[in-house]
Amino acid sequence: MARRRLRANGTPAPRGRRTPKPPPTEEQLAELEKLTDKLPEPLRAFRDRGLLNPVRRFRLEEAIRHRTRTLVPVLHGVHDPHNQAAVMRSCEALGLQEFHFIQAAEGTPLHASPRITQNAHRWIDVIEHTDFAGAQSELLDRGLTSYAAAFDENAVPLQEMDFARPLALLFGNESRGLPEEIIEACDGTFVIPLYGLSQSLNISVAAAVTLSWAVEFRRRAWGNPGDLSSEEQMELRRRFYETALRGHLPDDLRRSFDNID
């Protein structure tokens, strides 16, 4: 059994409690039932066979509805497993489906701390690249413009960035930031304005602030920051429903998944 953390006076410190999300309303659950009625039979089975309760299915559908692949964080040479994991967790919490990681020249492995991710990595696509050129080429082929987080005289203040377009946002090493050649290869740079005496933010904090601002920009512009097609949502639904069962998907249902369009 894990030992309780103690205060300075030797008494047990209170256990941390998560603030629960509000439960879905009756109207929201009614809409969920209408949606479920239209799903392919293998997905309706999660309701009809009682594999997932209504609240869990509602949470999954809300996550799918808000997902995007056109706002992509890219970490380059970030060493600390806690920082890697914290950015990954922010990604999932804010509805970003992809997390990209580029090893630095000296070889920086992705080894995100599972204690920090809190299983966020199970719900997103974690994509590793061996170099920046390959990552940029792949993202460019998908129509994403690359912007680097950098203290640069031409950097756009975060509040003035246009986040409605498809964007890949690059964040660099904890101490050195991004290499100059990567900054120059990007389409532009951006900076988070700081008004105190501190001259920089921790990489995971900088990413969380940037991505949160970007998602809120899209929410105000579009009403919903999610932009997946119905086909992409269906594929994600299949993955999410299966993942939610933690490997306990019945064999007959697993076989039928191959026939979902």
CATH number at residue 162: 3.40.1280.10
Q: Is residue 258 part of a domain?
A: no
Q: Is residue 46 part of a domain?
A: no
Q: Is residue 229 part of a domain?
A: no
Q: Is residue 190 part of a domain?
A: yes
153 CB-near residues (< 8 Å, 6+ apart): none
Give the model confidence (pLDDT) of 88-130 as tens digits.
999 999 999 999 999 876 666 788 888 899 999 999 999 999 9
Domain count, the chain: 1
Partner residues linked to 238 by β-bridges: none
Q: Is residue 159 part of a domain?
A: yes
State residue 165 phi and psi, 5-degree precision. -85, 160
Q: Is residue 8 part of a domain?
A: no
Task: Report the distance separating Cα 14 and Cα 152, nearest Å.
Answer: 44
Please state whether beta strands 188-191 and 145-149 pair in parallel, antiparallel, or not at all (unpaired): parallel
Q: Is residue 107 part of a domain?
A: yes
Q: Is residue 244 part of a domain?
A: no
Give the model confidence (pLDDT) of 136-189 as tens digits.
999 999 999 999 999 888 999 999 999 999 999 999 987 888 999 999 999 999
Distance linking the first and last C-alpha atoms of the chain:
46
The 10 Å CB-count burial string (b at 16+, else e) for 140-170 is eeeebebbbbbeeeebeebeebebbebbbbb
Give the model confidence (pLDDT) of 121-143 as tens digits.
999 999 999 999 999 999 999 99
Q: Is the pTM of this model over 0.75?
A: yes
Tell which wins on pLDDT, 177 or 215: 215
What range defines the domain where residue 135 resides? Answer: 71-222
Q: Tokens 């293998």 appear where?
A: 42
